[in-house]
Amino acid sequence: MKGAEALVEALKLEGVEVIFGISGGAALPIYDALARETSIRHLLVRHEQAAAHMAEGYSRASGRVGVCLATSGPGATNLVTGIADAAMDSIPLVAITGQVPTAVIGSDAFQEADIVGITMPIVKHSFQVRNPDDIPRIVKEAFHIARTGRGGPVLVDVPRDMAQAQLKGFKFPEKVEIRGYNPACVCDDGEIARAAALIAQARQPVIYAGGGIIASDSSEQLVRLAEKIDAPVAMTLMGRGVIPDRHPLSMNMLGMHGTAYANWAVRDCDLLIAVGVRFDDRVTGNLARFARNAKVIHVEIDPAEIRKNRYAEVAIHADAKEALTKLGAAVQKAEHTDWRRQIAQWKEEQPLAYDRDGALKPQYIMEQLADMTEGAPILATDVGQHQMWAAQFYPFQRPRQWLTSGGLGTMGYGFPAALGAKVAFPEQDVWLVTGDGSFQMNLQELATSVIYGLPVKIALFNNSSLGMVKQWQDLFYEKRYSGIDLKDVPNFKLLAEAYGCVGITVTTPEQVRPALERARDVKDRTVLIDFQHDPDEHVYPMIASGLSVDEMQLQPLGGRKKA
């Protein structure tokens, strides 16, 4: 058995069903071995960055480890953005790269890049195969590291000669033993008891819920705890879906573009129960003034995040599922009627709102999408204004239906992530909410969607500009527009049709619903709706960078009507 065959065999034993990738010289032996393995499906994409994002979308939607594959040099460097994205959002990902033969590593050989060195700051761990007999163990360890503890990307770099060399024997280890890596953490009962005591004293508790709850599949436990202690839940961008938005305890999102009521609740709470979050600057703004009256309970799997940004009175180093289960059992049932009434009043006074002045508003499109789908489909987004409107207006029903690039903020993430989710769940509807800027960063994957029969529904929010940057230039740079004008190019309807997809152009509010319904009803092809909306709309509420809830800007409503 050759190294490449051992690699593929080990992937099979890991239960890998699908790989997203692009071949090339150094990866030829791996592709040759893949051609002879029928149980693993390989999707040939059009750009390696998309392969990485597809693997991320597949992983986030399914809870499994995503796998992408590229050749050496440019193939490998094209994966870098996806690997960094997975690192920031704790997505289990295994990236396999071809490499030039060991004999010429370091000689600037054709298509050589030191991908292990390049990715060192953004991987959870990396391997370079130096002995073909190590391949099964390396694969086993790579998947173990990617999926356990705080998930993340692992790189496996395979020099071409290692892929071609004969193994002495194929031995796939049953167990992983890495002495420097012990992700198992025991949830401390003393800390649970201290947390329960703080919760018992709290009069105005808030749960600050993040992506860690989704990663540990513990939404149920979170909702049960929230209900038992009657604590409203503010979600991070990555945590959208941990509690359904129709649930009375949902306060939607907090932070820079969070709802006013979620941010006010965090401002006034006396206990902040932070679960699977890292006190990111987009959530906290000015740290010194974030939840300034609150004691903090921090449940977190990564010990390096505990007390990194914010002191926690009680720190529970644990997997969210175990901690929430134990905490749910340890707390007393409570009711916070006045507190809940206060939040309901804030919500009444300051809901998510926008001007209905007759123009085609992006928020209206999101509302219509929400109304039509009731939040059932998987929803992927790119990065920018449309992403925030999607996070605000989509009525999330469940975890793992929401795919977005949070930490890295990667434009170009959304479309491939949507395709990755469609691969994981071919029977489910997958919508992509994207912008004209973001979509053009990976639109070449329209080909992938057509060729592999992966129909997704694309709502393209077209303002002919980099809208979020424009918003900042409007607000903070006296409208001195610089580097934001994307003009009215291309014609997205024709672009979609050129790839064999359905293209629809929408320019008025009346056209929105019929277009959405048509996209919903087309089952066999990808549909792209080009929504040419009011380009001057801003995302509100907004807490500008580094400021606090006291400086929150609300939607300035002209002829003000509530949404």
Partner 1 sequence: MVAVPANGSMKKHTISVLVENRPGVLARVSGLFARRGFNIDSLAVSATERSDVSRMTVVTLGDERDLDQVIRQLNKLIDVITIFDHTRDDLVEREIALIKVRATVENRSEIMQLTQIFRADIVSISPRDETMIIDVTGDADKIDAFLETMAKFQVLEMVRTGKIALVRGSKMT
DSSP secondary structure string, 163-185?
HHSBPS-----SS---TT-----
Q: What is the CA radius of gyration of the chain?
A: 24
What does the alpha-carbon distance between residue 532 and residue 506 come to, in Å, rounded to a whole number?
6
The least distance separating partner 1 from the CB of residue 270, rounded to whole angstroms, comes to 21
Q: Binding residues for partner 1, how many (CB under 8 A)?
A: 24
| Contact predicate 219/242, CB 8 Å | yes
* Nearest of 430, 375, 368 to residue 397 by alpha carbon: 375
The verdict on 287 binding partner 1 (CB under 8 A) reads: yes
What does the alpha-carbon distance between residue 70 and residue 128 come to, in Å, rounded to a whole number?
14
The least distance separating partner 1 from the CB of residue 468, rounded to whole angstroms, comes to 23
| Contact predicate 316/299, CB 8 Å | yes
Q: Pick the binder of partner 1 from 60, 310, 347, 386 (CB under 8 A).
A: 310
Instruction: Give residues 234-253 in contact with partner 1 (rule: CB under 8 A).
Output: none
The residue (of 286 and 444) whose beta carbon lies closer to partner 1 is: 286
The residue (of 46 and 308) whose beta carbon lies closer to partner 1 is: 308
Tokens standing for residue 112 = 């050589």
Q: Any idea what DSSP says for residue 14?
A: T
Q: Pick the binder of partner 1 from 102, 164, 309, 444 (CB under 8 A).
A: 309
The verdict on 257 binding partner 1 (CB under 8 A) reads: no
The residue (of 38 and 107) whose beta carbon lies closer to partner 1 is: 107
The least distance separating partner 1 from the CB of residue 124, rounded to whole angstroms, comes to 8
Instruction: Give residues 121-140 in contact with partner 1 (rule: CB under 8 A).
Output: 121, 124-125, 128
Could you count the other beta carbons within 10 Å of the beta carbon of residue 104? 15
The residue (of 4 and 145) whose beta carbon lies closer to partner 1 is: 145
Chain-centre distance of CA 563, in angstroms? Answer: 27
Q: HSE of 187 in the Cβ direction (CA atoms, 13 Å)?
A: 19
Q: Pick the binder of partner 1 from 35, 103, 110, 120 (CB under 8 A).
A: 120
The least distance separating partner 1 from the CB of residue 180, rounded to whole angstroms, comes to 5
Distances 323 to 64, 221, 301, 317 between C-alpha atoms, Å: 22, 9, 10, 8
The residue (of 276 and 455) whose beta carbon lies closer to partner 1 is: 276
Residues 6+ apart with CB under 8 A from 304: none
Stretch that binds partner 1, among 300-308, 334-342, 373-381, 431-439 (CB under 8 A): 300-308
| Contact predicate 208/275, CB 8 Å | yes
Pairing type for strands 250-253 and 527-532 reads: unpaired
The verdict on 447 binding partner 1 (CB under 8 A) reads: no
Q: Is 263 left (phi over 0), alpha (psi -120 to 50) or beta?
A: alpha
The residue (of 118 and 372) whose beta carbon lies closer to partner 1 is: 118
Tokens standing for residue 44 = 């040939």
The verdict on 411 binding partner 1 (CB under 8 A) reads: no
| Contact predicate 262/284, CB 8 Å | no
Stretch that binds partner 1, among 29-37, 280-288, 464-472, 507-515 (CB under 8 A): 280-288
Q: Pick the binder of partner 1 from 134, 302, 313, 534 (CB under 8 A).
A: 302
The verdict on 292 binding partner 1 (CB under 8 A) reads: no
Beta-bridge mates of residue 158: 98
| Contact predicate 417/449, CB 8 Å | no
Instruction: Give residues 143-182 in contact with partner 1 (rule: CB under 8 A).
Output: 145, 178-181
The least distance separating partner 1 from the CB of residue 289, rounded to whole angstroms, comes to 12
The residue (of 227 and 302) whose beta carbon lies closer to partner 1 is: 302
Instruction: Give residues 79-118 in contact with partner 1 (rule: CB under 8 A).
Output: 116-117
Q: Pick the binder of partner 1 from 15, 173, 303, 500 (CB under 8 A).
A: 303
Kindly list the residues in this chain that would bind partner 1 in the complex (CB under 8 A): 116-117, 120-121, 124-125, 128, 145, 178-181, 281, 287-288, 302-304, 306-311
